[in-house]
A and B are shown apart, each in its own frame.
Chain A
């Protein structure tokens, strides 16, 4: 334990004089430790969270059987540098509680790339009917064929927001219960006279915005422009939710870091998911 603490102390200290193998040969610039300290990839976020790579520069990947693989003290050190410590307002007490939970001797918790419980949120710009609009796409990893792929799970697109507004109750338009006796000739009310044909759908009707979005794209009404932002939501640690964002700024606390942490009470997960999916 003490040895690991020493190793980690060395990691923190050595970010000021780290050197790597380099790719440029002669004339290579020496990193002053900032790029080494940065959590440069989401992959590195996973590895650091689980203690699956060497401190300092992460050049050594730890595998099951390696002495430091999933080492608790190493994880403790990594977890400290995996939070956005400059702009996020996560209280030290909450971080401590989270770390105790994650590093528990009885039930340590790890992140798993292939397991359910994490997703990407992507802000991307599209041109829709001549106007630039930002869509929020939620992507998930799924097994497919011989490997895995990221797939679009949901889309939230402002132009579709108020497109469907199904009324309820006694003042809504409806097809009366003996419409069948007339061969549903009154469907004309739903499809021709009404500005709100969704009023004639079943109570549980929910528009599928992704299908709608893809339909508009196939009709050449939606054209992709660019990606603007990416973040990740994690529910893999039991009883906790956290958000991972990329911080591109001077200093040592940069890269993919935890920017939001919530201890979940019953019902909180559903509320957060509803917020992420923005499907209300």
Chain B
């Protein structure tokens, strides 16, 4: 049951659709764990010390965090236009960056939105985090740095499973589209 937050151990479904502040906090923690996993995977995929096979394995793990069809929308300081990449393609581009040394770190701050219900009954939220990227090319001596804001969609859904004949409800979190904006910081 790794990664699942058990909402209740009995099959009581009444008024279960509203999310109380306490429940919201628990869901936030679970969502933040997923974002932490993603940030860890991004750092590994981007690192030049990571073997190709290992990077591929981590990409698989990272992809599993996302809902099907999720995209990364990337824009830079110089262009407000959004370039769209499928999540896997984004990771592959990150892995293929032409630097000898890459260092990806994260700022010690994040912001978690309220959860809003969508027409299909699932909840959606956005977690904002900030990433620092540094790439160095030994040959050219070029050193590239940027700081990006990542607004990460989270989908929160109540699911049920049967354990020893009892219906267990739990909240599951999946990541969705990610908006990547280069900041002036």
- Real complex partners, A and B? yes
**Closest Cβ of chain A: how far from B94's Cβ, in Å?**
16
Contact B185 A35 (CB under 8 A): yes
Is A250 in contact with chain B by the CB < 8 A criterion?
A: yes
Contact B36 A229 (CB under 8 A): no
Contact A24 B109 (CB under 8 A): no
Q: B114-131: contact bitstring with A at CB < 8 Å (1 yes, 0 no)?
A: 101111110100101110
Contact A63 B21 (CB under 8 A): yes
Is B101 in contact with chain A by the CB < 8 A criterion?
A: no
Of the candidates B35, B105, B111, which one forms a contact with A28 in the assembled complex, judged by CB atoms under 8 Å apart? B105
How big is chain A's contact interface, by range? 35 or more
Contact A41 B116 (CB under 8 A): no
Is A227 in contact with chain B by the CB < 8 A criterion?
A: yes
- How many residues in B have their beta carbons less than 8 Å from beta carbons of A? 43
List, sorted by A's number, 14 A–B pairs whose CB atoms are closer than 8 Å.
Answer: A21-B32, A27-B105, A30-B108, A40-B111, A43-B113, A61-B114, A145-B120, A148-B118, A226-B82, A226-B84, A228-B81, A248-B183, A250-B184, A250-B185
Contact B107 A29 (CB under 8 A): yes
Is A170 in contact with chain B by the CB < 8 A criterion?
A: no
Q: Which residues of A contact B118 (CB under 8 A)?
A: 145-149
Whether A147 touches B121, Cβ cut-off 8 Å, given contacts A23-B110, A35-B185, is yes
Interface residues of B in 78-120 (CB under 8 A from A): 80-84, 105-111, 113-114, 116-120
Is B77 in contact with chain A by the CB < 8 A criterion?
A: yes
Whether A144 touches B119, Cβ cut-off 8 Å, given contacts A31-B108, A40-B149, A248-B77, is yes
Q: Which residues of B contact A44 (CB under 8 A)?
A: 111, 113
Contact B119 A20 (CB under 8 A): no
Q: A32-51: contact bitstring with B at CB < 8 Å (1 yes, 0 no)?
A: 00111000110110010000
Which residue of chain B has its CB nearest to the CB of A32? B185
Q: Which residues of A contact B80 (CB under 8 A)?
A: 228-229
Whether A227 touches B82, Cβ cut-off 8 Å, given contacts A23-B32, A23-B129, A58-B111, is yes
Contact B128 A19 (CB under 8 A): no
Q: A133-176: contact bitstring with B at CB < 8 Å (1 yes, 0 no)?
A: 00000000000111111000000000000000000000000000
**Closest Cβ of chain B: how far from A247's Cβ, in Å?**
9
Contact B116 A148 (CB under 8 A): yes
Q: How far is the CA of A196 from the CA of B107 in the complex (A)?
A: 60
Contact A41 B106 (CB under 8 A): no
Is A22 in contact with chain B by the CB < 8 A criterion?
A: yes
Contact A21 B119 (CB under 8 A): no
Q: Which residues of A contact B181 (CB under 8 A)?
A: 248
Q: How far is the CA of A211 from the CA of B108 in the complex (A)?
A: 47
Q: Which residues of B contact A40 (CB under 8 A)?
A: 111, 128, 149
**Closest Cβ of chain B: how far from A195's Cβ, in Å?**
37
Interface residues of B in 45-79 (CB under 8 A from A): 73, 77
Q: Which residues of B contact A243 (CB under 8 A)?
A: none
**Closest Cβ of chain A: how far from B62's Cβ, in Å?**
15
Q: Which residues of A contact B23 (CB under 8 A)?
A: none
Contact B108 A22 (CB under 8 A): yes
Is B160 in contact with chain A by the CB < 8 A criterion?
A: no
Q: Which residues of B contact A229 (CB under 8 A)?
A: 80
Whether A57 touches B114, Cβ cut-off 8 Å, given contacts A23-B39, A125-B81, is no
**Closest Cβ of chain A: how far from B52's Cβ, in Å?**
24
**Closest Cβ of chain A: how far from B28's Cβ, in Å?**
9
**Closest Cβ of chain B: how far from A65's Cβ, in Å?**
9
